[in-house]
A and B are shown apart, each in its own frame.
Chain A
Amino acid sequence: MRRSLLFIPGNNPAMLQNCDVFDSDAVIIDLEDAVSVTEKDAARALVSEFLNAMAEQPPMELIIRINGLDTEYYPADLEAVVSDKIDTIMLPKATVEYLEKLDKLLSEIEKKKRMSKKIGVVPIVELAISVLQIEEIVKCPRVNGVLLGAEDLSGDVGVMRTKKGNEILYPRMRLAYACAAYKIDAIDTPFTDTNDNDALTEDCLFVNNLGFNAKAAIHPNQVPVINSVFVPAQKSIEWALRVEEAARQASLKGLGVFSLDGKMVDKPVIQRAENIIKKARKYNLI
């Protein structure tokens, strides 16, 4: 259950060595778009040595965005970074075919390196074909969340990106429902204006209502905003706790359905309340 995932350029030593201070639930060390073609080797070596030097597991999830399986770089990326030190591989331009191939490659490396951990995968949906394949993508091996990549997707579809994001409403809704159906993280595309946190807040609230539970960040300043939106509001937590208590009392009386504040409470409402409480406990809000 992630809220914020912060991108960090893989060839930036200053950002790498401070990656655990930004309070994001996950850090995505980027070997793809944030690294120029001429520096792929340098970024790969730096991230590899950074991981080797890491004495203990950092407090947040460690994700590496490798280069796409349509490039010449991904075999060396995987060889350099896959180890027990990382949690997840993020796959750009993901399709079902590439995800199945990645699963096989990871299995081979895990076996060769005698790893104790099974690496998770977060595909990026950033091609029109991937939006259409989303119901299959969420079922692929290792996939525990999906990131919407709106910039590349807009390019693929041939539409302009706007701050309001009407052009990505369809992929957002498809992704949110597919992830909800398979109980994995729906991660929204980064908000690219790093100087407008009011609009970022609005964007987070909007996608949270669509069903997204997390958002990627491209600047550390975006992390507190994202973290504050993708948790239950105090009012919701208070409501959920009252539902939980009322459900306990009703259960003692053998009631499956009961009334609270004049409104019917049944199993789906209790389930929603339990989810809010679970999330609130995870982030120490109770």
Chain B
Amino acid sequence: MKRGIAGSLESNDALITVKESDKLTITVKSIVYDFFHKQIEKVIRDTLKELGVEKIDVVCEDKGALDYTIKARLIVAVKRMEASE
């Protein structure tokens, strides 16, 4: 199964793991989950839409990342997944 990882568990970063899937699943784990999980999920959905990806398994382990960091990490994780054997 193709997989891609990007980011880190450092403060203000996010570790994003994506896997090939036949459906869209998004899991968000965050130190600010109560306040921002909806916003994080929205960033992930919007970014996947921009990338034209409809079916994928995304796990985002957030350590207080800003929206653009989550977006950048997701873009790279998807590209790495697509490039993986």
Which residues of A line the B interface, CB within 8 A? 12-14, 17, 41-42, 45-46, 48-50, 52-53
Contacts and interface: CB of A to CB of B under 8 A. Distances in A.
B42 to A, nearest CB: 15
B67 to A, nearest CB: 7
A143 to B, nearest CB: 31
Interface residues of B, number: 18
Interface of B: 6-7, 10-13, 65-69, 71-73, 75-76, 79-80
A48 B10 contact: no
Contacts of B79: 41
Contacts of B11: 14
Max count, chain B CB within 10 A of own CB: residue among A12, A13, A49: A13
The 3 closest A-B pairs by CB, nearest first: A14-B12, A53-B68, A49-B68
A180 to B, nearest CB: 40
Contacts of A41: 76, 79-80
Given A42-B73, A42-B76, A52 B68 contact: yes
Contact of A45 (B12, B13, B76): B76
Please report whether the interface of chain B is mostly helix, strand, loop or mixed according to DSSP: helix
B66 A42 contact: no
B6 A42 contact: yes
Nearest to B75: A45
B31 to A, nearest CB: 14
Contacts of B71: 49
A52 B72 CA distance: 11
Contacts of B72: 42, 45-46, 48-50
A58 B40 CA distance: 25
Given A45-B72, A48-B72, A53 B66 contact: yes
Contacts of A52: 68
A50 B69 CA distance: 7
A123 B12 CA distance: 31
Contact of A13 (B69, B75, B76, B80): B69
Contact of B67 (A14, A48, A53): A53
Nearest to B65: A13
A12 B72 CA distance: 12
A50 B70 CA distance: 11
Given A17-B69, A42-B76, 6 more contacts: A13-B66, A14-B13, A42-B73, A45-B76, A46-B72, A49-B69
A41 B75 CA distance: 10
Max count, chain A CB within 10 A of own CB: residue among B7, B72, B73, B75: B72
B8 to A, nearest CB: 9
11 contacts: A13-B12, A14-B12, A17-B12, A41-B76, A41-B79, A45-B73, A45-B76, A46-B69, A49-B68, A49-B69, A49-B71
A34 B73 CA distance: 18
Nearest to B74: A45
